[in-house]
Amino acid sequence: MNLSTPSFSLNPLLVKELRGRMRGPRAFLFLTFILVILGLFSYGLFQLATPRFAGQLSDFGNASAGATIGQTVFVGLVFLTLLLVCAIAPSLTAGAISGEHQRKTFDLLMATPLGPFTILSGKLGAALSYVALILLAAVPMTSMAYVFGGVTVSDLVRAFAVMAGFAVVFSVMGLFFSALFLRTGLAVGASYFLVGMAILGTFFVYLVIGVMRGAQPPNWVLALNPFSAMASALIDGVITDPNTIYNGSSVTPMLYGIAGGRFDVAIDKQVPLWQYSAALYTWLTIFLFAIAAQLVKPVQRFRFHLVTWIVLALLFLALLVGALALFAPQVFLPFRSTYLWYTTSERNIVVNPRFEESLTTGWIVGAELGKQVKGSAPDPPSLADADGAAVLRFARDDATPLSELLAMQNLNFQLTEASVVKLGLTLRMQEHAMPVCGAAGRQCPMMILLDYTDRRDQQHKLAQGFFSTYAPDLPDHCVNCDRIPPHVRVETDTWLSFASTDLFENVTADELPRSLDRVTLFAQGTGFQIDVAEVRVLVHEGRPPLYGKPPKTPRWSWRRFVPFWVYDLVYGAVRGWGPVNPGGPIMVPAHPRVPLIPTRAPMPLRVP
């Protein structure tokens, strides 16, 4: 056998492709063409940026003017070059494997001892060498910005690193489609479609979310956008450093705009967008390269059945979700209640919630006179009988002085981070004198208040108001209730069972409750009689996910790399399974004693 002694040798495909590509004037004409475009573009930018500072340019004292021109030219050129990379990189590799098939050279190649990895890396290397040539040619062009200042070597390195990264990503994408479709045209089309989706599609989604929410959209939507990644990388640099003289140049807002603002996470642990992009695209690239390697195997090229596609898609989705869970866990916050792994059943943590026992069990009741009112206080809420069920009755007639009645229970309930908390109240309003919240919206006929402490030890009150009588000229809430959530209207003399959705569905990790402190029923106003049959603070506890760890955990703790369910399995095994809170669950009676309590939506407002 003629196995020559193994020696270091260049990838044969790399040699061949480069020889072919660099032969003749084609490659260099193309390069010249690109440089001419870049040159014209930067000249245009210079012309655009200059007039505003025409008078100041000679003034050496004004460094800011020059810096702004420099930054404009630099950023403009960098973005154009990035666009060129996005356009050129996939087209260089889209014919790599399909071309071999179409030229009928694939069998000859497969008969050689070259493996799929060598073949793909040779093709990739050749494409990247060409992109590298273009980028190297563009470096002097961008460095013209130095004449004006405002740009550092660090910015230059960042910009070209991002471009090089995307060159790899999109080359591999082209390679993958080439190996998949075996037709160059289709591969080019598919690659350009995806590049277009990454650039325009993500911006579109970002804008649509913004318009729909009427607020700043979450910037992780832009993580797949090359331009946002570039902007984010440049923001990291000196260009927008608030400590330098250059801050406030006209380029800065544009960069923030493209990168989706600087609202990454909490200010204290801000992760720049480009890090998310890097993570996502690294996974994507490895994934595509691995599949492409499967596809160019000579004998085992898997014919894709539908099932294989589905499995691959699921795998990809799992990777994506995994990457998001690692790098951008806050993405999942809005969906917590659907993916939480509950460790306890949902239960009511209120003691004596149906007033079956005397009020001394759990409840503290009281009555308080209004601040400028004299006289004796009315009776505090007391137990009464309504339709055969025990209720807590809040009653005050117009004759008694203005006062507040309350029933309060201290909960002191420590919560895991992953808990769903809901409020519920079953009540009937038999009488409600003043419409909505009384005069000037200050007196709520009935409110349920939940005091809680968040993960930063901030105290909060959550309030839900109820009213019965309505007047269209009054606001539909009182100042005490602070607008959100809106008051619920209860039809007079009818039982209503109110149930909220997850109270903490839309808060950030830091605003999640650490403990539920107190629940208060609170009646106010001129004249009312309200029966409360049941008070519910429903807690459904899940395992603690990692994102909610207290900030003392180091940012790059190993725990970040352990899927939360693995962590929880281990954690659970060590700690022992069972309810998270000591004290045990409080059982809810199976048979409600309050008859005829339909749970239904609040009544619509009717204008008399």
Partner 1 sequence: MIDTTTEPFAIETRQLTKKFKKTLAVDHLNLQVPRGALFGFIGRNGAGKTTTLRMLAGLLEPTFGEVWVNGERAGDKARKLHHLIGYMPDFFGVYEDMYVWEYLDFYARCYNLTPARRTKLIDELLDLVNLSDKRDANVQALSRGMQQRLCLAHALIHEPQILLLDEPASGLDPRARIEMRELLKELAAMGKTIIVSSHILPELAEMCSHIGIVEGGRLVANGNTAEIRAQLQFARVLRVRILTDQARALELVHGARNAGKPYIVESSASGTTLEMDFHGDDRAAAMLLAEWVARGAPVAEFSESGNALEQVFMQLTTTEL
63, 114, 320, 326: which one contacts partner 1 (CB under 8 A)? 114
| Residue 25 lies near partner 1 (rule: CB under 8 A) | no
Least CB distance to partner 1 at residue 581 (A): 60
CA dist 35 and 137 (Å) reads: 7
Q: Which one, of 402, 482, 466, 471, lies nearest residue 602 by Cα? A: 466
How many Å is the Cα radius of gyration of the chain? 33
Chain center to CA of 405: 42
Using DSSP's 3-state secondary structure scheme, residue 445 falls into coil
Complete edge-to-edge strand list for the sheet that includes strand 403-414: 364-369, 403-414, 513-525, 446-454, 459-467, 488-489
Question: Which tokens is 403 given?
Answer: 């006062």
Least CB distance to partner 1 at residue 168 (A): 24
CA dist 17 and 123 (Å) reads: 7
Least CB distance to partner 1 at residue 5 (A): 7
Q: Which is nearer to partner 1, 29 or 211 (CB)?
A: 29
| Residue 108 lies near partner 1 (rule: CB under 8 A) | yes
Least CB distance to partner 1 at residue 117 (A): 13
| Residue 12 lies near partner 1 (rule: CB under 8 A) | yes
CA dist 220 and 357 (Å) reads: 52
CA dist 217 and 255 (Å) reads: 16
Q: Which is nearer to partner 1, 26 or 52 (CB)?
A: 26
Using DSSP's 3-state secondary structure scheme, residue 389 falls into strand
Using DSSP's 3-state secondary structure scheme, residue 465 falls into strand
Q: Which is nearer to partner 1, 5 or 338 (CB)?
A: 5
Q: How far is CA 298 from CA 29, 116, 179, 335, in A?
A: 37, 8, 12, 45
Cβ atoms 210, 321 nearer than 8 A? no
| Residue 300 lies near partner 1 (rule: CB under 8 A) | yes
Q: Which one, of 135, 138, 143, 139, lies nearest residue 73 by Cα? A: 143
Considering only the stretches 20-28, 368-376, 408-416, 489-497, report the one whose residues sit in contact with partner 1 under the rule CB under 8 A. 20-28
1, 306, 573, 596: which one contacts partner 1 (CB under 8 A)? 1
Question: Which tokens is 283 given?
Answer: 């996974």
Considering only the stretches 6-14, 197-205, 436-444, 516-524, report the one whose residues sit in contact with partner 1 under the rule CB under 8 A. 6-14
| Residue 298 lies near partner 1 (rule: CB under 8 A) | yes
299, 399, 566, 596: which one contacts partner 1 (CB under 8 A)? 299
47, 61, 104, 591: which one contacts partner 1 (CB under 8 A)? 104
Q: Is 197 exposed, middle or buried (0-12, 13-18, 19+ CB in 10 A)?
A: middle
Give Cβ neighbours of residue 374 (< 8 Å, ≥ 6 apart): 401
| Residue 306 lies near partner 1 (rule: CB under 8 A) | no
Considering only the stretches 110-118, 382-390, 568-576, 599-607, report the one whose residues sit in contact with partner 1 under the rule CB under 8 A. 110-118
Chain center to CA of 320: 13
Least CB distance to partner 1 at residue 12 (A): 3
32, 44, 52, 112: which one contacts partner 1 (CB under 8 A)? 112
| Residue 29 lies near partner 1 (rule: CB under 8 A) | no
Least CB distance to partner 1 at residue 114 (A): 5
Using DSSP's 3-state secondary structure scheme, residue 593 falls into coil
Residue 367: phi and psi, rounded to 5, are -140, 145
Considering only the stretches 113-121, 335-343, 350-358, 484-492, report the one whose residues sit in contact with partner 1 under the rule CB under 8 A. 113-121
How many residues contact partner 1, by CB under 8 A? 31
Least CB distance to partner 1 at residue 306 (A): 16
Q: Which is nearer to partner 1, 22 or 291 (CB)?
A: 22
| Residue 308 lies near partner 1 (rule: CB under 8 A) | no
| Residue 592 lies near partner 1 (rule: CB under 8 A) | no
Interaction mask 84-103, partner 1, x per CB under 8 A: -------------------x
- What residues line the site for partner 1 (CB under 8 A)? 1-7, 9-10, 12, 15-16, 19-20, 23-24, 103-105, 107-115, 298-300
